[in-house]
Amino acid sequence: MEMLSVVKIYHLRKKVEESVPYVNKLRELLMSIASTISLDTNISPLFNPHEVKTTLVIPLTSDRGFCGAFNTNVMNLALNYEIQNRGDEIYGTIGKKAASELKHLGKEVTLEFPGLLDRITYQNAQQLSQQIKKLYISNQVQAVSFVYMEFQSVLKQETVVREMLPLSPIAKTTRRDLETFLFKPDARSILDDLTSQYVDLFVYKVLLEAGASEQAMRRMSMHRATENADELAQKLTIKYQRTRQAAITKELTEITSGAEAIKER
């Protein structure tokens, strides 16, 4: 399990690193197009903040154990987050561990995606993103936050809360010259599409981060378990040898004592 986790970490970390330039370029393109549109109007419903009455909190956990404190840390932060936030909380779950604990506590679970961290693809991220966007655009929820373990390195992961919706307002930056570009059908339609893609990519990146962190925690947990098992095996071997030696010594003592008794007779 430790070796499998090492391989999975490598692939997931590579995907995270490859997505960074695309995210940065997409953000730059959003800023450029938004600067050509009046910021006094609603650029996209995903940017439009509402009075927060209900917040959708989505903890990302695994479907299996053997990953140390990964699930515990995420769920502790997810449950404590409601104290800091406004409005009521409903939950969406990624992973069986989160769904099981929230249902046990009597929390309202709106979305369930078991096994998602074991099959992270952009298509699966889009499906999750689309359901979240529908809840937000229909005003069933007014804020959406992910609670997950952010991957920083193989040896370091940090449990964080990241608010996905509403999107942060685009700052009024210097207007960029886009007159050399032709927008078909128009700049606003393209901006809407890019905004939706940006949210999809946000979800995809969160899944990759959480997946890499899960495997890193599992690798560490399995490494420690192996060390503990080796140490336990060594202790048991020593105990077995001492017990065996004591039994042999006792038998020899009994035989010697018996022989001495026969000689005396």
According to the model, what pLDDT value does residue 41 have? 46
The distance in angstroms from the start CA to the end CA of the chain is 66
DSSP 10-73: HHHHHHHHHHHHHHHHHHHHHHHHHTTS-TTS-S-TTT-----SEEEEEEB--SS--STTHHHH
**Joined tokens for residue 227:** 């060390």
Which residue did the predictor score with more confidence, 60 or 23?
60
pLDDT digits (tens, 9 = 90+) for 12-42: 888 888 888 888 888 778 777 776 665 444 5
The 10s digit of each residue's pLDDT in 186-219 is 777 888 888 888 889 989 999 999 999 999 888 8
DSSP 220-248: HHHHHHHHHHHHHHHHHHHHHHHHHHHHH
pLDDT in tens, 155-193: 888 999 998 888 776 555 545 555 567 778 877 788 888
Q: Whose CA is closest to 176, among 37, 22, 25, 23?
A: 37
Model's pTM, two decimal places? 0.80
